[in-house]
Structure 1
Amino acid sequence: MGFTTGLLGGFTLTTTLIYTSLLIHNRNRLRQATLLRQQHLLLNNVVEPQPLLPPPTTREVRDAGLWARSKDRWNMELEANVKKVQAVDWEGAVGRVEEGASQLWQRAFKGGREGAERAAGREG
């Protein structure tokens, strides 16, 4: 191992150890501070209990902006469309579509048959 490699390796190792030890120390101190705060609150609540919170007040609705009104209108329209789709009698709708397609098919071939008969009658 050369001088430069040894120097850089030692620097890297030392820096990593210092960083790791400082990180662990910092996290331990934060954990201890959190535990001390919890214990302080518990002990103070035994001696002087915190007053009960007031009942929740009614929610005030402020004038919504353009964006909120647009979203509300979109949601109402979407909800109405979903209700319309849910209220459709799908079996009846499929039956009506099949009946219409059948009538269209019959008219197309009936007209074709009549035209073929007329054409055959003129030739014959």
Structure 2
Amino acid sequence: MGFFAGFFSGFALTTSMLYLTIQVHRSNRLSQRNAIREQTQAINYIALSRGAYDRRLLPADKDAEEVSAQVMGLGTSRSGSGSGVQDQLKHQWNEEVRKLARKAYESRWEDVRDTAVEGWKGVRRLVKRE
């Protein structure tokens, strides 16, 4: 009786682990498929010839509105109450990105190196004192 119990318990353990592994793999593939689909839609929306430079100039098109809502993660429901806050947050975000990009563009590697060297010397002095 011990052989059959061991055999069937091993079989049950192996099949359950195989089933769980397959289900995890399947759910990962589905989530990757959905992410790739969303990214493809976003890239296609960005690559539209209409309004390529300024999205505010796009004509009010139902398909474009749905795609832009999906790209922004807002869903297809349109409510006018949060648009002012949303625009303000977008503006703040764009200003922060613009400032960081300007700072990265205007920074020199020599200054970064000198700052890092000075910081390292300060840490070394602090450690040697103690």
TM-score (norm 2): 0.38
State the structure with more CA Rg. 1
> Whose RCO is larger (CA < 8 A, sep 6+)?
2
